[in-house]
Structure 1
Amino acid sequence: MDFIEIIVTLSGLGLAAFVIWYFFFSARRMVSAVSSSGGVQQVSITVKGGYSPDVVEVERGKPVQLSFYRDEENSCSEELLFPDFSIRRALPAFQTTLVELLPQQAGTFAFTCGMGMLRGRLVVR
């Protein structure tokens, strides 16, 4: 192995490590839901190369309304899955889709795109 091959190999390993860190270990922005006068907890989430915010904190036993605005046409983000709540929704491009649910137990619940590449979490306290 010559010097150039070593440099290319090390660069590839470094980039792979960065991708793994970014998607699985980087710090996530958490947002707490805002309760409306009717007691519904509301959060707006933008879908563009990921979910922003990707961690949402809500209270147990109160209705939750998540507004997903899909700001792209990427095919990966055209579907939303909440497996623990048996929710599957199409997210039309450049439109807002409401997802309503009532979390009955505390815990952390994942939501993803249809391909599982975009990930978020609903934290119920």
Structure 2
Amino acid sequence: MDTAAIIVTVVGLILAGFVLWYFFFSPHQTASAVSSSSGVQEVDITVKGGYSPNVIEVERGKPVQLNFYRDEENSCSEELLMPDFSIRRDLPAFQTTLVELLPQQAGRFEFTCGMGMLRGAIVVK
């Protein structure tokens, strides 16, 4: 291998490592749901290149309202999938979409965009 091939290989490995870290090991923004006077746990989530916050902590057995505000037109973020709750929603750009659910069991439940690239989780305690 000549010098140029070695440099290209090293840069490629560094970029691949960064992509793996970004999608799987980067720090997550965690938010605990806030209970309203009616007992509904609410969380506001901004969708812009990802979900912020992307980890939501809620209590089991209490209704949850997630307010997804999609602050972009990127086609990847136009759909929300929550397979464990049988929820699929379209997220219109620059609008808030309400998602209501009632978690009955404790655990970690993943949600994604329609392409599976944007990821988040609901942690039920």
Shorter chain as denominator, the TM-score bin is over 0.9
Structure 1 residue 85: deviation in Å? 0.3
Match for 2:112: what amino acid? T
**Alignment deviations for residues 39-92 of structure 1 (CA, whole Å, 9 cap, x no partner):** 000000000000000000000000000000000000000000000000000000
> How well do the aligned residues superpose, as a CA RMSD in angstroms?
0.5
Aligned to 1:36: 36
- Give the TM-score, by structure 1 length: 0.99
Structure 1 residue 27: deviation in Å? 1.4
Runs of 4+ in 1 over 2 A off after TM superposition: none
Match for 1:41: what amino acid? Q
Aligned to 2:116: 116
Structure 1 residue 33: deviation in Å? 0.3
Match for 1:67: what amino acid? N
Q: Does 1:106 align with 2:106?
A: yes
User: Identity of counterpart residues, as a percentage?
Assistant: 79
- Give the TM-score, by structure 2 length: 0.99
Q: Quick one: distance in 2 between partners of 1:112 and 1:15? A: 24
For the residue of structure 2 that corresponds to 1:110, the secondary structure is strand
For the residue of structure 2 that corresponds to 1:65, the secondary structure is strand
Report the more deviating stretch, 43-52 or 22-31: 22-31
Aligned to 1:3: 3
For the residue of structure 2 that corresponds to 1:12, the secondary structure is helix
Unmatched 5+ stretches in structure 1? none
Structure 1 residue 122: deviation in Å? 0.2
Structure 1 residue 25: deviation in Å? 1.1
Q: Quick one: distance in 1 between partners of 2:81 and 2:29? A: 20
Q: Quick one: distance in 2 between partners of 1:105 and 1:121? A: 14
Q: Quick one: distance in 1 between partners of 2:89 and 2:76? A: 13
Aligned to 2:18: 18
Structure 1 residue 110: deviation in Å? 0.4
Q: Quick one: distance in 1 between partners of 2:104 and 2:96? A: 25
